[in-house]
Each structure stands twice: as C-alpha cells, then as structure tokens.
C-alpha cells in the first residue's frame, strides 16, 4: 500500500517571544506543524532531520498522533534552532537567530515505503532539494511551498519546482515578489499558469485565495480574538488542507475548497497557543465545529 | 414621503496619479462616490458644499442619475480640492495637497424634505458636524464613517457619534487605532458594543468584515486584475451597501450581508477606472453579474 501523504520539512526547536509570552526550545518546524495538522485526517509520513539533542518525548508525541517518522534522520550535531519574536501587530515574525545545525548538510533519505505515495508536500527548503525529493518519491500529486530567500537567490530552480508540481501554496508577499505585481489576483493566475495546477495564496489574518480551473475562491481566516503565537500557522494550514485531501484520496476542486476550510480551522487553533499546544489537545469534533462556523461566516445568499 | 437615503459628504475636484495614469480636477469626494454607488438601488439625496468653480456638467451628471442635490450648497470660493498619488502597491493614497476651500467653513444646511429620512450616512468629516447633522435630520437609521485624523484629534466627540448611530463603517487601520488592538475581530466586537449596532470594517483588497448580532461575517473583495485608481472605493462600497438597504427599507442582517456583496461589486467597478468612469456606464445587470460571481467565490459547502 502506498503511503497517503509524505511531507519534506523541518523539525526544529524554537524559541519564540510574543506580547503574550515566551517559549524556549519548543517543538516546531514546518514538517512538524504540517504533519500534526494533517494527522486529523490521515497518517502522514515525514522526511526530515534532527540532532542528537532532540527530545525523545517529542518523537513519541508525533508517533502517538499516528505520524510515520521512519524518514526522520538522526544526524550528529544539534537540531535546527529558530529564534524569533512577534511585535504588536503579530503579522510578521522577526528572526533573531537561525542555527541551521544538522539542517546545513541535510541530504534527505527517502524510505522505500515512502516512494510512490499519493500526496507529497515539499515545505519551504532549497528548491534543488525539493526537485531531488520529488524525483525520488514520484508521488501521484505534489504540492510545494517556498520563501522569499529562494525567490531572490534561486528563482530559476524554483521555477522548475513550480513547473513540476501540481499545486503551489505560498504566502501573499512571496506571490507578489515572484510575479512582480502588487495585484494578488494577477499573481495567482500567473502562478496557476506556470504550474498548470492549483495555487493557494496564504494571507494570514485575511485568509486565503485559491486559483483553480481558472476560477478564484476566497476563504477568510477563522475569526478568533485569541492570537497568542502565529508560528506554524501557514504550515498547519497547508497540513490540514492537504491532509484532508489525502484522507479522501481526492484532488477535485470542490473537495479542495472544503479542505481549505479545514486547514483554516486547524490554523486558527494553532495560533491560540504557543508551539503545538493550540492543537495538541483538540479533537476532530472541535475542528468540525469551526468548519461549520466558517460555512456561516461566508454565506450571504446561500442555502446552508 | 420621507427620503429613503440622505448622505453628508464631500464633493471635490480631485487630481490623482497612479502607475496607470493621471486625472486633474476630476469629479470626486466621499458624498459623490457614495451617492453614485447608492443610485443603483435608490434615489439618494446629498448634503454637501461646492464652490462657484464646480462645473455645471458634474451637477447635471449626478441629477441624471436620480441624485437629489437640493442639499448641495454653492458657496463663495473654490470647491474642495484633493491631490494624491498611489504608488506600486496601490493600497494607500499619498496625499500631496488638500485645499479645503469652501469646505473650511462648511455649515451643512438641511433641506426640510431631508428631515426624518429613513437612512442617513455620515461620511468622514468633523464628528461635531456629524452629531449636529444627525440631530437635525433625525433619521430612522444612521451609519457613520470617520478617519484617523478625528481618532487622534477628537476621539471624545467621535465616541459620541459611535454611541449615537446604528452602524459604523470604517477601514481596518482606523478600527485598530480607535480600539488600540491589532486584532480586527476584537476591534469589531468592541465597536459593535460601543455603538450597540452593526459594524463594517473595510479591508480594501482583502474585502470586509461585518459584526452583527454577535456574529462575524466575512466578504472578500471582488477578484479583479484591473485596479487603475482606488480613489473612492471605500465610499462606493458604503454607498452600494446602504443604498441597497435603503432600496429595500430593511435593516435585517441577512439583507445587510447581501448589501455588502452589492457594495463590493460596485466598489470593484470603481477601481477599474479613474474618477467615476469605472461605474458611470455600468448597468444594474453588470452589478448583478458580479454579485452572482461573489456568491460562487465564497461557497465551499453551500447549495447555490
């Protein structure tokens, strides 16, 4: 049986400060947030690297969620460590320190059992590594994220990634920068044309846009008043979205729209706590409640 | 018969430059944009002031749209003139010059026939003038806008306005500033509690939020790739929204949600041209088309 969902991403120990508190060496990383979110709907597998200092309890925590960690390499040295802070407006993280550590020489090893999986998600990482993993895994469907650093430094390789995948999930600043236009609708349509696939633009507190089948779809953020720590919101959104699709084994646009609502619901729980505390105790029913509320939040002339 | 809808706002001659072109001494002002947008649904009346230089053709243009200009005073001097420019991101206007001219000594005169109207909209102006006009007009329903200048300089009077009206329509920066929180959901709920009414927060390219009956409702912007001049988008949105309600004589929340979609559709036409050229030639059917597309843009698990 091929795996339902594999992701390539980071596993990190984060130190984060916001106006509402601080954590040190807390479990983080794009792969972690993505897989935790996806685990509401499927049993995700993760390709990543950690150092010898990575606490055993964190690995156990992920395994208890049904996350397959066979693809997590334990390398000599220390785990990737990110230190950041959010100020008053909570919209943008200020990176105080990035210790790549074992990530600096990361050469992803793909377990045989991961190859030929249904869905592959390539979180933000060097686009050359993304391409390499895509070639090795040969999934049925592949989606990718990126960040401004790669748009500035390796745009050509990144374009190859975008051309090779079936979907792109990036944030609004990256979409504007990559396409060189302030108009997000133009940017989304251009990216959809480059990848000949689906494009999701993440807008934080303003929700997300989907470009698919030449149509535009808009999803607001879930209306929460309790934003304690935005770290991991984007990766959790992606994990909830793709995890829901993988659970259904579907790439149909109507399912993708529902998936985006589930991703939105899960991301809203993530920001309500530091590290993974916002979702670690949440039930599938609590996610469903927010999904149902999102249906009401957008309806203005619809039968519910 | 009481008037359906009266607005207090400015009538201006605008000089605007964007990356896509420039106009000089073009018809503008909050009252103008508001009334033009509302004229798709009702016959709005306007309270404003113009100078002796105001072209007769502009007045004829408004009258031809069914706009009642009895409340437009022609004062000695020149018409209010605003000069501004938009740069690359088109999100914020840079004011280059503000010549208040006849607006400096504006003391609104309310025609007898305007008093006791159903809906009154108080566009951005000194809150003491807003309160004065509200007292004189005694409408059934009143909604108000404002701007940062009054939040900074006359917050106490502005709070009296907010307490006196049935609804507030302001932009996201103003909402955050007035409430002293970066969280728009918190800000909207607080404003709704102050006014004991409905609150609409305008977010430009990210759409709008409605706070009503302790619920939150979200509307995306209409997905247009053609943004030539954002001037008047917010006032047109308000005009379309309140104009639709006035046409129905309704203040019910389900109608208000539909109204916000119509306001959104009209605002999207406004930004597609300079001054009023984006809507002056639009038909009611073209507005309806965009309304129907907005229904699809937000639906993810709804019967259409």
User: pLDDT tens digits, residue range A69-125?
Assistant: 999 999 999 999 999 999 887 877 899 999 999 999 999 999 999 999 999 999 999
User: Which of A208, A250, A301 best probes binding to B when mutated, by most B CB atoms within 10 angstroms?
Assistant: A301
Q: How far is A58 from chain B (nearest CA, A)?
A: 32
Interchain CB distance below 8 Å, A225 and B297: no
Q: B87 or A185: whose pLDDT is higher?
A: A185
Q: How many CB pairs under 8 A join A and B?
A: 104
Compute the distance between CA of residue B264 and CA of residue B232 in angstroms, rounded to an integer: 12
User: pLDDT tens digits, residue range A154-177?
Assistant: 999 999 999 999 999 999 999 999
pLDDT of residue A12: 97
pLDDT at residue B304 is higher than 80: no
pLDDT at residue A139 is higher than 90: yes
| Helix residue ranges, H only, chain B | 30-38, 56-64, 127-137, 148-153, 155-164, 172-179, 184-195, 233-248, 253-270, 277-280, 284-298
What is the percent of chain B with per-residue pLDDT over 70, rounded to a whole number? 100
Q: What is the pTM of this model?
A: 0.95
Sheet bearing B21-28, strands edge to edge = B21-28, B12-18, B81-86, B93-99
User: pLDDT tens digits, residue range A171-228?
Assistant: 999 999 999 999 999 999 999 999 999 999 999 999 999 999 989 999 999 999 999 9
User: Which of A223, A245, A261, A262 best probes binding to B when mutated, by most B CB atoms within 10 angstroms?
Assistant: A223
Q: What is the ipTM of this complex?
A: 0.93
Going along chain B from its start, the domains and CATH numbers come out as 5-298 (3.40.1190.20)
User: pLDDT tens digits, residue range A11-23?
Assistant: 999 999 999 999 9
Interchain CB distance below 8 Å, B183 and A227: yes
pLDDT of residue B89: 76
Cα dihedral: B50, B56, B61, B66 (round 10): 70
Answer yes or no: are the C-beta atoms of A132 and A108 closer than 8 Å: yes
Mean pLDDT of B117-136: 96
Tokens 């957008």 -> residue: A298
The angle at the Cα of A80, spanning A76 to A85, to the nearest 5 degrees, equals 160
Tokens of B106: 């504006």
Minimum-distance CB partner of A297 among B218, B260, B296: B218
- When mean pLDDT is compared across B88-97, B113-122, B152-161, B198-207, the lowest value belongs to B88-97
- The count of other CB atoms within 10 Å of the CB of residue B76 is 8
Compute the distance between CA of residue A70 and CA of residue A80 in angstroms, rounded to an integer: 19
Answer yes or no: are the C-beta atoms of B232 and B218 closer than 8 Å: no
pLDDT at residue B303 is higher than 90: no
The angle at the Cα of A228, spanning A225 to A230, to the nearest 5 degrees, equals 100
Query: Which residue on chain A is closest to B206 by alpha carbon?
Result: A206
Q: How far is A73 from chain B (nearest CA, A)?
A: 39
User: Which of A218, A219, A288 best probes binding to B when mutated, by most B CB atoms within 10 angstroms?
Assistant: A218
Answer yes or no: are the C-beta atoms of B295 and B304 closer than 8 Å: yes
Tokens 């149909």 -> residue: A252
Mean pLDDT of A249-269: 98
Answer yes or no: are the C-beta atoms of A196 and A254 closer than 8 Å: no
- Three-state SS annotation for chain A: CCCCEEEECCCEEEEEEECCEEEEEEEECHHHHHHHHHCCCCCCEEEEEECCCCCHHHHHHHHHCCCECCCEEECCCCCCEEEEEECCCCCCEEEEEEECHHHHHCCCCCCHHHCCCCEEEECCCCHHHHHHHHHHHCCCEEEECCCHHHHHHCHHHHHHHHHHCCEEEEEHHHHHHHHCCCCHHHHHHHHHHHHCCEEEEECHHHCEEEEECCEEEEECCCCCCCCCCCCCHHHHHHHHHHHHHHHHCCCCHHHHHHHHHHHHHHHHHHCCCCCCHHHHCCCHHHHHHHHHHHHHHHCCCCEC
Q: Is A172 on the interface with B (CB under 8 A)?
A: no
Which chain B residues in 253-272 lie under 8 Å from chain A, judged by CB atoms?
254, 257-258, 260-261
Instruction: Name the nearest CA neighbour of A223 among B193, B188, B198, B197.
Output: B188
pLDDT of residue A92: 79
pLDDT at residue B137 is higher than 90: yes
Answer yes or no: are the C-beta atoms of A79 and A51 closer than 8 Å: yes
DSSP string, B68-129: B-TTEEE-SSPPPEEEEEE-TT-SSEEEEEEE-GGGGG------GGGTT-SEEEE-SS-HHH
Mean pLDDT of B165-190: 96
- The count of other CB atoms within 10 Å of the CB of residue B237 is 31
Answer yes or no: are the C-beta atoms of A120 and A7 closer than 8 Å: yes
Compute the distance between CA of residue B49 and CA of residue B56 in angstroms, rounded to an integer: 14
pLDDT of residue A1: 84
Q: Which residues of B touch A254 (CB under 8 A)?
A: 300
Greatest Cα pair distance in chain A: 58
Answer yes or no: are the C-beta atoms of A211 and A192 closer than 8 Å: yes
Q: Which residues of B touch A297 (CB under 8 A)?
A: 215-218
Minimum-distance CB partner of B298 among A184, A205, A298: A298
Mean pLDDT of B25-46: 98
Measured distance between the N- and C-terminal CA atoms of chain B, rounded to whole angstroms: 38
DSSP 3-state of B45: strand
Q: Is A104 on the interface with B (CB under 8 A)?
A: no
Interchain CB distance below 8 Å, A90 and B182: yes
């Amino acid at each position: 049986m091929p795996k339902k969902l594999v992701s390539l991403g980071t596993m990190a120990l984060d130190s984060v400060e916001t106006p509402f508190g601080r954590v040190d060496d807390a479990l983080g990383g794009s792969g972690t947030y993505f897989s935790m979110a996806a685990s509401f709907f499927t049993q995700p597998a993760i390709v990543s690297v950690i150092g010898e200092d990575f606490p055993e309890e964190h690995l156990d925590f992920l395994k208890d969620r049904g996350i397959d960690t066979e693809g997590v390499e334990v390398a000599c040295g220390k785990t990737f460590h990110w230190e950041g802070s959010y100020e008053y407006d909570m919209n943008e993280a200020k990176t105080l320190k990035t210790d790549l550590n074992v990530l600096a020489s990361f050469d992803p090893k793909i377990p045989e059992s991961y190859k030929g999986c249904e869905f592959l998600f390539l979180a933000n990482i060097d686009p050359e590594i993304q391409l390499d993993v895509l070639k090795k895994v040969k999934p049925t469907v592949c989606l990718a994220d990126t960040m401004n650093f790669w748009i500035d430094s390796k745009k050509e390789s990144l374009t190859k990634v975008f051309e090779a995948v079936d979907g792109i999930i990036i944030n609004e600043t990256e979409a504007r920068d990559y396409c060189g236009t302030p108009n997000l609708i133009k940017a989304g349509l251009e990216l959809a044309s480059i990848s000949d696939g689906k494009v999701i633009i993440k807008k934080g507190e303003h929700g997300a846009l989907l470009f698919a089948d030449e149509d535009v779809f808009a999803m607001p953020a879930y209306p929460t008043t309790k934003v304690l720590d935005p770290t991991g919101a984007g990766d959790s959104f992606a994990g909830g979205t793709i995890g829901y699709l993988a659970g259904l084994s579907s790439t149909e646009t109507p399912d993708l729209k529902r998936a985006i609502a589930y991703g939105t619901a899960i991301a809203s729980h993530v920001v309500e706590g530091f590290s993974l505390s916002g979702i670690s105790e949440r039930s599938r029913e609590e996610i469903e409640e927010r999904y149902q509320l999102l249906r009401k939040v957008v309806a203005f002339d619809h039968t519910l």
